[in-house]
A = this chain, B = another copy of it.
Amino acid sequence: MTEPKTPDAAAPTGPAKKHPRDGKPHATIYDIARVAGVNPSTVSRALSKPGRVSAKTQKLIEDAAAELNYQVNPFARALPTGRTNTFGLIVADITNPTFFDIIRGAQTTATVRDYTLVLAESAESGATELTAARRMMATVDGLILASPRMDDDDIRVLARDKPVVVINREVDGVPCVVPDVHKGISEAVRSLAANGHTKVAFVAGPQQSWMSARRWEGVQAACEWSRLEAVRLESTKPTVDGGRQVARDVRASGATAVLTYNDLLAIGLMQELQAAGMVVPDQISIVGFDDIFGADFTTPPLTTVRSPLGECGSGAATLLLDLLHGTGDPAATLRVETELVLRGSSGRLLPAG
């Protein structure tokens, strides 16, 4: 490049390769071997293969390691073995609180099982997601995809390389964690029917969302069973803002109860309807999905079909870790139960007046 040639002017603070920043380089197994008076390979075994060396040398080595306060170099270990004790989690959108709980669940399980979590997001784009996934694949032992936007086939290709677990979607041949919408939705619809509602609107989520399709199916089925009329409305995006925007369609639909693809839509919708002077739930009932953080901050607090998101995250992590350790079914689907959380935003319809 355009660098001056004077060699001694090159390194200002001179971060000599190995020395992290200041003083001494980190201790290696060779240092330990020297201190303990044994061979490096013996140190390696003492530190990773329990029972392979005699108790005496074990102690010798451990003492030396402690003295030098040795820490394994994860890269040196990963290079020959391929194991990193790390797994990746890719979410569609970090902005979306749905994923907060999933992240938390996965993170917790990771820590407990002595793994490290690496996080990435796909910005709701299948292409970005695939890129992120590919990049991650190189550094992790396995991957969790939460609400993936990429094709089934892409997922399967990834899964051939290393264990992959999918959340909120079912992909043939890949282990999945999916909330079973049935119970929660039928509870919700039955509750609405019992409160005198006859026409229910469903505000759908993104087109590519597998989950949105399942929820609409569930709503249709439950409405049919309870002999309610169900109409589907589209949203522009699955956010609070999207909820506000769909408000006029909701009013135009003539439905007296609304289920939305997720809580954010429900919250935005409720805000907009209230701003227009409607009273919730007297004039319209609103039911969300997921029971995200903050769903009970609203007035009235939001009735919602709870998906145990934290459980999804930790369940997926457990599935993955089991897979990594050889136990666990490589094509198991973990179904978690949904349930209605009845709060104030749904209830009996008051006669107009």
Contact = CB atoms under 8 A, between A and B. Distances in A.
Interface of A: 1, 12-13, 17-18, 20-22, 50-51, 71-76, 78-79, 81-82, 84, 86, 94-95, 97, 100, 103-104, 107, 111, 116-121, 134-136, 138-139, 160-163, 267, 293-294, 297-299, 326
B119 A119 contact: yes
Contacts of A76: 79
26 contacts: A17-B81, A18-B82, A20-B82, A71-B138, A73-B138, A75-B78, A75-B139, A76-B79, A79-B79, A86-B139, A95-B104, A97-B294, A107-B119, A111-B120, A111-B121, A116-B120, A116-B135, A117-B118, A117-B120, A118-B118, A119-B119, A293-B293, A293-B294, A294-B294, A297-B297, A298-B298
B97 A103 contact: no
A142 to B, nearest CB: 10
A161 B118 contact: no
A352 to B, nearest CB: 24
State the oligomeric state as a number of copies: 2
Contact of A107 (B75, B104, B121, B293): B121
Contacts of A94: 100, 103-104, 107
B22 A160 contact: yes
B13 A326 contact: yes
Contacts of A81: 17
Contacts of A84: 75
A267 B118 contact: no
B297 A267 contact: yes
A42 to B, nearest CB: 19
B120 A118 contact: no
Contacts of A134: 71
Leading 6 A-B pairs by shortest Cβ distance = A294-B294, A299-B299, A297-B297, A75-B78, A75-B75, A20-B161
Contacts of A1: 50-51
A73 B79 CA distance: 8
Given A21-B162, A97-B293, A100-B100, 19 more contacts: A1-B51, A12-B326, A20-B160, A20-B162, A73-B79, A75-B79, A75-B139, A76-B79, A94-B100, A95-B104, A97-B97, A107-B120, A116-B118, A116-B139, A118-B118, A267-B297, A294-B294, A298-B298, A299-B299
